[in-house]
């Protein structure tokens, strides 16, 4: 902001230098997600705004009566934009439910919904911000692609908790939010180069005709992109200094890409110790009903975001009591409206949601459990 604050594309020092920062931010995000090209990375205000914008561009491929697939587990950021599109274009909507006992999708049900070839787009979630479930997005993508269905993955909840590899998943689009992985309030979309190139963007005429510029409408938040680069430098440092034993898991990657992926694997490994402590502690508290995977052998299929209800207790009051002890947790539906409705928890105030991340400690989990003992 002090030395290189300028708009893009000028022939003068400040513009040239700020353009280099933006380019590096795109490349660093490509490294985090294992994208083939930096030009496959589109920055935007947040995941929701990017998804609204892309739903319009993708919608240009559809015609009245076409079908899309949405899920009951998704955050509304990956539901609302598609419902608006369905309303505007007269699309049919199919829903993928989750199992109320396992808190996971039944892949046979997903296959059945996709197999007749009618579905033009599947909007699915990598990890649930309500249940914590990590979904098998690779298999769902494979099923979808058998019928040429486009796959749009919301990875906002997953990216802070594990290594993300868009080429391995094979999906067509994937969205995430740097503020969820400790960076600034920004959104990022990755899309396959050929799709970004062929999709029509809602853009002003003088703007770039190529991706990512054609989708990065108006003047971008340069300081947000620089901050995203900053947080990726932090994660790279974790990968270099604290995740050496995980680097060998990524023999095909080198440099920053290898360090970022090793860092996220180390984080995933560490966070599992937090989830185990938190969930086993919650299971020992009277009246607690966990809303997510609680079998310790299945913890590789969940992030440490843990939701629960307590018999005859109001989630908001529990969050307020914890807040009085400087423990900050969310309550309610957390925008995962469909998930809360499928569990019939809308009227009773949703869930309490505790979301530890890699900088939290076992001591903090224990303290939270001690305070919870006094909450009801």
Ligand X SMILES: Cc1ncc(COP(=O)(O)O)c(C=O)c1O
Tell me the pairing of strands 187-191 and 41-44: antiparallel
Taking a C-beta distance cutoff of 8 angstroms, is the pair 30, 48 a contact?
no
Q: Out of 18, 34, 129, 164, name the contact with ligand X by CB under 6 A.
A: 129
φ/ψ of residue 93, rounded to 5: -120, 130
Q: Tell the burial category of 363 from Cβ atoms under 10 Å away from its Cβ (0-12, 13-18, 19+).
A: exposed
Based on CB atoms, which residue is closest to ligand X, 69 or 243?
69
Based on CB atoms, which residue is closest to ligand X, 156 or 372?
156
Q: Rule CB under 6 A: is residue 47 a binding residue for ligand X?
A: yes
Q: Tell me how far, at minimum, the Cβ of 237 lies from ligand X, in Å.
A: 25
| Length of the chain (residues) | 376
Based on CB atoms, which residue is closest to ligand X, 49 or 197?
49
User: Alpha-carbon distance 209 to 197, whole Å?
Assistant: 9
**Contacts with 166 (C-beta within 8 Å, 6 or more apart), sequence order:** 33, 34, 35, 174, 190
Q: Rule CB under 6 A: is residue 75 a binding residue for ligand X?
A: yes
Based on CB atoms, which residue is closest to ligand X, 133 or 177?
177
Q: Out of 104, 136, 154, 271, name the contact with ligand X by CB under 6 A.
A: 154
Half-sphere CA count of 51, side-chain side, radius 13 A: 27
Q: Rule CB under 6 A: is residue 333 a binding residue for ligand X?
A: no
User: Alpha-carbon distance 80 to 333, whole Å?
Assistant: 15
| 3 state SS of 308 | strand
Q: Got the DSSP string for 31-77?
A: HHHT-S-GGGEEEES-HHHHHHHHHHHHHTT--TT-EEEEESSS-GG
Q: Tell me how far, at minimum, the Cβ of 78 lies from ligand X, in Å.
A: 6
User: Alpha-carbon distance 240 to 7, whole Å?
Assistant: 33
Report the site for ligand X in 313-332 (rule: CB under 6 A): none
Q: Rule CB under 6 A: is residue 228 a binding residue for ligand X?
A: no
In the numeric block, which tokens belong to residue 229?
């680069």
Based on CB atoms, which residue is closest to ligand X, 164 or 177?
177
Q: Rule CB under 6 A: is residue 48 a binding residue for ligand X?
A: yes
User: Alpha-carbon distance 270 to 250, whole Å?
Assistant: 18
Based on CB atoms, which residue is closest to ligand X, 122 or 156?
156
The one segment of 40-48, 191-199, 282-290, 342-350 that binds ligand X by CB under 6 A: 40-48
Q: Tell me how far, at minimum, the Cβ of 225 lies from ligand X, in Å.
A: 15
Q: Tell me how far, at minimum, the Cβ of 164 lies from ligand X, in Å.
A: 13
Q: Out of 27, 46, 225, 247, name the contact with ligand X by CB under 6 A.
A: 46
**Contacts with 266 (C-beta within 8 Å, 6 or more apart), sequence order:** 238, 239, 242, 243, 245, 246
Size of the site for ligand X (CB under 6 A): 12
Q: Out of 81, 160, 162, 187, name the contact with ligand X by CB under 6 A.
A: 187
Strand partners, 152: 123, 173
Q: Rule CB under 6 A: is residue 177 a binding residue for ligand X?
A: yes
Q: Out of 18, 57, 149, 157, name the contact with ligand X by CB under 6 A.
A: 157
Taking a C-beta distance cutoff of 8 angstroms, is the pair 184, 178 a contact?
yes
Q: Tell me how far, at minimum, the Cβ of 49 lies from ligand X, in Å.
A: 7
Q: Out of 77, 239, 349, 356, name the contact with ligand X by CB under 6 A.
A: 77
**Positions that interact with ligand X (CB under 6 A):** 46-48, 75, 77, 129, 154, 156-157, 177, 187, 335
């Amino acid at each position: 902001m002090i030395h290189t604050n300028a708009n893009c594309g000028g022939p003068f020092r400040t513009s040239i230098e700020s353009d280099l920062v933006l380019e590096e931010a795109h490349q660093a995000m490509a490294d985090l997600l294992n994208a083939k090209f930096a030009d496959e990375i589109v920055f935007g205000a947040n995941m929701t705004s990017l998804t609204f914008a892309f739903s319009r561009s993708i919608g240009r491929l559809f015609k009245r009566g076409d079908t899309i697939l949405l899920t009951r587990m998704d955050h509304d950021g990956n539901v609302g934009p598609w419902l608006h599109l369905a309303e505007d274009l007269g699309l049919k909507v199919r829903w993928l439910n989750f199992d109320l006992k396992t808190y996971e999708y039944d892949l046979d049900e997903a296959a059945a919904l996709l197999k007749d070839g009618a579905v033009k787009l599947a909007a699915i979630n990598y990890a649930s911000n309500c249940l914590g479930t990590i979904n098998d997005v690779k298999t769902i993508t494979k099923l979808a692609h058998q019928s040429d269905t486009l796959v749009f993955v919301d990875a906002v909840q997953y990216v802070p908790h594990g290594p993300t590899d868009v080429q391995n998943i094979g999906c067509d689009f994937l969205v995430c939010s740097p503020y969820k992985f400790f960076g600034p309030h920004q959104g990022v979309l990755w899309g396959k180069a050929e799709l970004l190139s062929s999709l029509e963007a809602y853009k002003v005429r003088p703007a770039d005709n190529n991706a990512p510029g054609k989708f990065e409408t108006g003047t971008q938040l340069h300081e947000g992109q620089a901050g995203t680069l900053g947080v990726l430098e932090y994660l790279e440092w974790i990968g270099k200094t604290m995740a050496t034993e995980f680097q060998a898991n990524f023999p095909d990657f080198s440099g920053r890409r290898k360090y970022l992926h090793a860092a996220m694997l180390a984080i995933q490994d560490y966070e599992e110790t937090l989830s185990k402590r938190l969930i086993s502690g919650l299971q020992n508290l009277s009246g607690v009903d966990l809303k997510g995977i609680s079998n310790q052998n299945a913890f590789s299929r969940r992030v440490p975001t843990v939701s629960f209800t307590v018999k005859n207790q109001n989630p908001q009051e529990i969050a307020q009591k914890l807040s009085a002890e400087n423990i900050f947790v969310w309550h309610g539906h957390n925008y995962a409206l469909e998930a809360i409705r499928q569990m019939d928890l809308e009227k009773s105030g949703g869930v309490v949601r505790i979301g530890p991340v890699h900088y939290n400690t076992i001591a903090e989990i224990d303290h939270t459990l001690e305070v919870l003992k006094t909450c009801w």
